[in-house]
Chains A and B, each alone.
Chain A
Amino acid sequence: MSSEPYLVVSAILFAIGVLGFLVRRNAIIAFMSVELMLNSVNLSLVTFARQHGNLDGQVGTFFVMVVAAAEVVVGLAIIVAVYRARRSASVDDANLLKF
């Protein structure tokens, strides 16, 4: 079985994630785009594991999932905190950290 379709899907998902992150202002959407990128990578990792016939890629996927779960906890907490402070979830409004 060819792994090419899976990788194409993974690449498409990743490109959608990148574009979403770059063009959307809403922090929640940007966050979802990041998750999309992570999961596209998961898909390609699982594909490669299957292709090579060992479990290394699948183990890596689990790691990514764990990290993503932790990241969601922290990230959403930050977004909520920012929203409470500024009454806005736009990433362009949180632009104070600069020269």
Chain B
Amino acid sequence: MQLLEIVNAVPASGLFSLAWLLIAIPLASAALLLVLGRYSDKWGHILATAAPLASFTIGLVLFGQMLSADEGSRAASVPLFEWLSTGNWTIEVGLLVDQLSILFVLLITGVGSLIHIYSIGYMAHDDRRRRFFAYLNLFIAAMLLLVLADNYLVLFVGWEGVGLASYLLISFWQHRPSAAAAGQKAFVVNRVGDLGMAMAIFTMLAWFGSSSFSDVNAGAAELTPFWATLLGLLLLLGACGKSAQVPLQSWLLDAMEGPTPVSALIHAATMVTAGVYLVVRSNAIYAQSEIALTAVAIVGTVTLLAGAWIGSSKDDIKKVLAGSTMSQIGYMMLAAGLGPVGAAFAIFHLITHGFFKANMFLGAGSVMHGMDDDVDMRHYGGLSKAMRVTFITFAAGYLAIIGFPFTAGFYSKDHIIEAAFDQNTVLGVLALIGAGVTAYYMTRLMVMTFFGKKRWADDVHPHESPLVMTVPLIILAIASLGAGLAMNGWIQGWLAPPTGHEVHDTPLVHFTTIGLLTLAVVIVGVLVGWFLHRGEIPRNEPTTKNPLVLAGRADLYGDALNEHAIIRPTRGLSKGVAAIDRGVVDGLTMGSASLAGGLSAWLRTAQNGYVRTYGLTLVIGIVALAAIVFFGQLV
């Protein structure tokens, strides 16, 4: 593998020095809404929607400037202030606006703004809407800090910030015990990943004396193979936690307890892709270790199959989409694990996925809105007539995710499958199977939700959502269809400097053997999905003995595995430690205390209150002393 070219960011000038405003605006808005409390109930959502829109505008302006600049001077570094200086380490806080981070900025603020607008309608009847918007703004600010940081430690601040926002929003309806538990679960599972992340940063500080991207990239070649592999695996652990990759996938399905816009923004379009961003950003480290890179690809492949499997067996529409998100992020991880060849494809798929998955999640939210918050697809059916706009926009997302020719997913996913075949046939075949299963479960979702006979109860009156919710859907649907066409020929060249990748030729109309094979597999998946669900669908989940379905319904036993492999041993260990604490440590202290207590209780009976007894004691003592002195002299 050729040594990566180090891209030096030029110092920021002009508008770029205002890049901190991107983060500051939503942060200030969140702070304002939280501090003012109920006083801002009336206009809070307007301000909160304006904040990401303002950031989006700034992002667009910066993006325009970068487009017009020549390739060498596109990346700009924006030093802000010195955070801390201790011993040998000086940590500077700075932003890095380069080709990679600007794409994320546009995705986060663009999709984020649409979801803010949608939420105005979705959360209209919620008493705590202002608080919801404050948390959303907090999330936007933290996520922007994550992608704009020029330094792993500052990235970590954003990383934890999005974790906090995710926790707050998953358990937003905290009066429901399941939501509160889901928030805690997400938080705890993410801590495992954060451990890897923190240890990776410590390793960097120890090796390079700095955690900034430029120093780490420059020094990565000096790493010994062992440390390069370890660093890569630690970063992968962090990425697994945040991106819900196997083995830390269990929190994402439960995270669907949060309001649907949150699922769309945080748990589909942006935050869960942070792991992919981390791996792509750390390409210099992964270039040093074939093992770590292979581990990334394997994790991605396992997750893409596991997610598709779970998605195929759930009846809860949001959980199907959550499984699908896991699966699609698995594709991105797989691409990132293919090395520089796949990195640009990973980001490409990340962006198109951000569009079509946000679209479908918001569509699911719209369906739930019309169906009195019922999420069970077995209670839907025939909604295509009742919800015209939702149906059409959802269909756009559907076509994009299964990879219908010329939609977004067709370009981004096929590139990944082809790149996987180039590297390793096994990975390629598994990715191909994943594409077929994706087509199956998405068709199942479409058929069960929008086609067939109505299965909802008589007192439910499905209706189309208000304009404030459908307009974002329409915009996202257009993006789902068109983003692939728009970005296909351009994104590789654009991302070449930060990913260190030579450009492959990927024409728009481009049917290779593998592309056609993928298409054939997808068609089979669609047909199977339609064939199995074309008839009557029972309103209750049928019991089955099919082990594949049972495993899928149980989230592939992820929770059971955690329970048996981690929670119970840990609980046993802590019970043992507690028993030792009670028996030995407490026994010693309590024993010595009761010994002293008993002794003094016995001694105090000498204090009987009779002066003459004290006098006698005194005399005996003096006589004894005198005797000792006297006989001591004799000896």
Show the binding face of A for B, using Cβ within 8 Å. 18, 21-23, 25, 30, 91-92, 94-99
Contact = CB atoms under 8 A, between A and B. Distances in A.
A94 B614 CA distance: 13
Contacts of B604: 99
Contact of A95 (B609, B615, B616): B609
Nearest to B623: A18
B615 to A, nearest CB: 5
Contact of B608 (A22, A30, A94, A95): A95
Contacts of B609: 95-98
Given A18-B619, A22-B616, A22-B619, A91 B611 contact: yes
A61 B605 CA distance: 38
Contacts, number: 32
Interface of B: 604-605, 607-612, 615-616, 619
Q: Which of A22, A25, A91, A94 gathers the greatest number of chain B CB atoms within 10 Å?
A: A22
The A interface is mostly helix, strand or loop, or mixed, namely loop
B605 A21 contact: no
Contacts of B607: 97-99
6 contacts: A22-B619, A91-B611, A95-B608, A97-B609, A99-B604, A99-B605
Given A99-B604, A99-B605, A21 B610 contact: no
Top 7 A-B pairs, shortest CB-CB distance: A98-B609, A95-B609, A99-B604, A91-B611, A98-B607, A99-B607, A95-B610
A13 B610 CA distance: 24
Nearest to B610: A95
Contacts of B611: 30, 91-92, 94-95
Given A91-B612, A95-B608, A99-B605, 7 more contacts: A21-B612, A22-B616, A92-B611, A95-B610, A96-B609, A98-B609, A99-B604
A85 to B, nearest CB: 16
Nearest to A92: B610
A91 B608 CA distance: 13
B414 to A, nearest CB: 91
A23 B604 CA distance: 24
Tell which of B607, B608, B615 has the most Cβ of chain A within 10 Å: B615
B610 A22 contact: no
Contacts of A99: 604-605, 607-608
A22 B605 contact: no
Give the interface centre of B605, B608, B612 by most chain A CB atoms within 10 Å. Answer: B612
Contacts of B608: 95, 98-99
Contacts of A23: 612
B40 to A, nearest CB: 67
